[in-house]
Structure 1
Amino acid sequence: MSDRLSVLKTYKLYVGGKFPRSESGRVYEVTDCKGTWLANAPLASRKDARDAVVAARKAFGGWSGATAYNRGQILYRIAEMLEGRREQFIAEVADAEGLSKAKATAQVDAAIDRWVWYAGWSDKVAQITGGANPVAGPYFNLSSPEPTGVVAVLAPQDSSFLGLVSVIAPAVVTGNTVVVVTSEKSPLPALSLAEVLATSDLPGGVVNILSGRTAEIAAPLAAHQDVNALDLAGADAGLAKELETAAADNLKRVLRPEPADWSADPGTGRLLSFLETKTVWHPMGV
């Protein structure tokens, strides 16, 4: 009989490609659906939120300036690494959501497949959102999509991994950088995803992951002047209204929360939510 002690995992935030502790040093207990303690997760502060925005802004130029093909390759590499750690995520999702191993496996497999699906859109989205426009005059008039900028994403509360992937991947594949607030009660799959991102080819700061009290972290993000858009998937109706009001101060683009079946075909709605259209007039024959 072995008398060795288990090595318990220490979860940290993921900001700028690094793993800092919460600036305040706070943590909170994460339990499974039966109330059994699973781990301590970092309780992010307003300062952590501001640091994450700085990291996301710093990474935006390089990420948005990368070729669409390159972004797709990087996202596909992340999917490969998720496949390699599949069993870990199955166990974490089962604990987080109170699922059987078979149902947790289906959730994880769907999340990996969805990451691959979004990766494939990287060099195709311009074909469905851009194009040549007929104009009255001797000009070529061309429209093309460009990323909105830094997007603050409130991850779904009830889908700790599939829902998480469904809101992160469509935002970053088109060139945005994100600050993600994890599911408050089930943050561990998201914090483990950070370990995959850190060892992939994804540049630091493209995805920043904060765990803690959703309302506490979301408020400074909604009011932050260097955040360009909000995805409120993980907000309830009351919080969403408050955040949307704060977001109006610098005219942030806001994706309101709606009932979602994360296992359903995602379509292109989220993919197109955080894109702007650039139109160029070019004289013919020049």
Structure 2
Amino acid sequence: MSADRLSVLKTYKLYVGGKFPRSESGRVYEVTDSKGDWLANAPLSSRKDARDAVVAARKAFGGWSGATAYNRGQVLYRVAEMLEGRRDQFVSEVAEAEGLSKAKATAQVDAAVDRWVWYAGWSDKVAQIAGSANPVAGPFFNLSTPEPTGVVAVLAPQDSSFLGLVSVLAPAIVTGNTAVVVASEKSPLPALSLAEVLATSDVPGGVVNVLSGRTGEIAAPLAAHQDVNAIDLAGAGPELAKELEASAADNLKRVLRPRPADWSADPGTERLLAFLETKTVWHPMGA
């Protein structure tokens, strides 16, 4: 950079309802790299921000869940296209966030892009493995079909700021759920940059909402919120997970408990099916 230029430092914001607001509290916190050097200030979300994100996710749920599976797959594929165009930026952010070499960070970013494509391909196929035509005694068709659970709170993994995040977010939304994402507390910048990609892709506003800050502070109101239908505790430690699971029981939220994960491994279909409900319909034959 020329010596006569000032550094243009980026100001990160939350992503709620398709817009980029500052935290309602006005608070920020310092984000550092693996060596402790300052990278940026990120928004420190408040409980009010969490509630606003749930409102946005609920508002978007009808349109997103009502879209065709094919359309949702096309939208997720568009996210992969947009990420491919900003590949170098994400490689740099992941390398700084996780202390990785450029080669390892590149592998993480490439795997994350591929994961969007992988889940996009599942969008119009999941009904074949989660639904069924059931044999019954009587002149009826009995069909079971998967439907989205609703608004899902997603605590992104703390140790995998981008690949882990995509691995928990993409399967939640491809089946028609909307999401409130709590970014990695230590390394939120890849998640906040992903929000910029989502905003300029075809993902409708409110389908994904991204909050940064203290995981426990943001997750508590989400776990207790009566309009949140499920919560993925991937980014919660054992004690926090136990507290959040107890809060989630108040309105019988579906809870996906945290466990060790190799985010680079084949994801399988477990998370794809985790936030689906089964609707069974009886229909008279010949009518």
3-state SS of paired residue (1:200): coil
C-alpha deviation, 1:3, in angstroms: 1.5
The 5-angstrom pairing of residues 3-14 of structure 1 reads: 3-14=4-15
Once residues 6 and 117 of structure 1 are traced to their aligned partners in structure 2, the CA distance between those partners, rounded to angstroms, is: 39
3-state SS of paired residue (2:39): strand
Counterpart amino acid of residue 174 in structure 2: V
Counterpart amino acid of residue 269 in structure 2: T
The 5-angstrom pairing of residues 129-208 of structure 1 reads: 129-208=130-209
Counterpart amino acid of residue 195 in structure 2: A
C-alpha deviation, 1:107, in angstroms: 0.3
Matched, 1:275 2:276: yes
C-alpha deviation, 1:95, in angstroms: 0.2
C-alpha deviation, 1:6, in angstroms: 1.4
Partner of 2:93: 92
Counterpart amino acid of residue 197 in structure 1: L
Partner of 2:126: 125
TM-score, normalised to structure 1, is 1.00
C-alpha deviation, 1:200, in angstroms: 0.6
3-state SS of paired residue (2:281): strand
3-state SS of paired residue (1:9): coil
C-alpha deviation, 1:105, in angstroms: 0.2
Aligned pair count?
286
Once residues 98 and 226 of structure 2 are traced to their aligned partners in structure 1, the CA distance between those partners, rounded to angstroms, is: 35
3-state SS of paired residue (1:116): helix
Once residues 261 and 41 of structure 1 are traced to their aligned partners in structure 2, the CA distance between those partners, rounded to angstroms, is: 27
Partner of 1:239: 240
Counterpart amino acid of residue 120 in structure 1: G
Once residues 23 and 229 of structure 1 are traced to their aligned partners in structure 2, the CA distance between those partners, rounded to angstroms, is: 24
Partner of 2:28: 27
Counterpart amino acid of residue 169 in structure 1: A
3-state SS of paired residue (2:136): coil
Once residues 25 and 172 of structure 1 are traced to their aligned partners in structure 2, the CA distance between those partners, rounded to angstroms, is: 29
C-alpha deviation, 1:2, in angstroms: 3.1
Once residues 50 and 139 of structure 2 are traced to their aligned partners in structure 1, the CA distance between those partners, rounded to angstroms, is: 49
Structure 2 unpaired stretches of 5+: none
The 5-angstrom pairing of residues 63-74 of structure 1 reads: 63-74=64-75
The 5-angstrom pairing of residues 217-228 of structure 1 reads: 217-228=218-229
Following superposition, which runs of at least 4 residues in structure 1 exceed 3 angstroms of deviation? none
Counterpart amino acid of residue 32 in structure 2: T
Once residues 4 and 103 of structure 2 are traced to their aligned partners in structure 1, the CA distance between those partners, rounded to angstroms, is: 32
C-alpha deviation, 1:178, in angstroms: 0.2
Partner of 1:284: 285
Identity of aligned residues (%): 88
Counterpart amino acid of residue 117 in structure 1: W
Q: What is the RMSD computed on CA atoms of the aligned residues?
A: 0.5
